[in-house]
Structure 1
Amino acid sequence: MGLFITMSGRRQKISAQGEHYGWSSTVFCTTERFWGESVFREAAAIRRDDAVERISRQILRLNPQAIQARISRFIGSTQR
């Protein structure tokens, strides 16, 4: 598996007086640290076709007007 990172939160500087100051910054971590190793073991057991179908359904649930060709391109599948 490669090195994948995800946004895991935001941090803001704190002064000696305990007050927040400046702009917050985004915090990154590895996907394994954020979600845990078990998620990746479970994901590895899912067949590609099943994963594509489940992701497509979730996209359509959130955006019923989504175009199938764009969904396929987003997922990286050739399913139309």
Structure 2
Amino acid sequence: MGQRMEAAAGCLAVLGGLGAGLVVWAVRAQGRVDRFEQGPDWRVFVVELPLCALGGVGAGALAGALLHRRFRARRAAPPGP
């Protein structure tokens, strides 16, 4: 794989992780944003949204790095008999 393809794959892995983090946040925060006869819970936006987004980005970056190492090791190995 060329360097551009590796960079694109890494960017896609990070964006996929960000999307997954936002989906997890949306599912978890569904009923807590507006509660009955109460004001909105701003901690959902101020604390949990950035944590889920950063966690997703970190997970995507880790997955991209692990895949890169695995394919690099496979490519560098000498061919079998």
TM above 0.5, yes or no, is no
| TM-score (normalised: structure 2) | 0.28
Q: Which has the higher helix share?
A: 2
Q: Which has the higher contact order (CA 8 A, sep 6+)?
A: 2
| TM-score (normalised: structure 1) | 0.29
Q: Which has the higher strand share?
A: 1
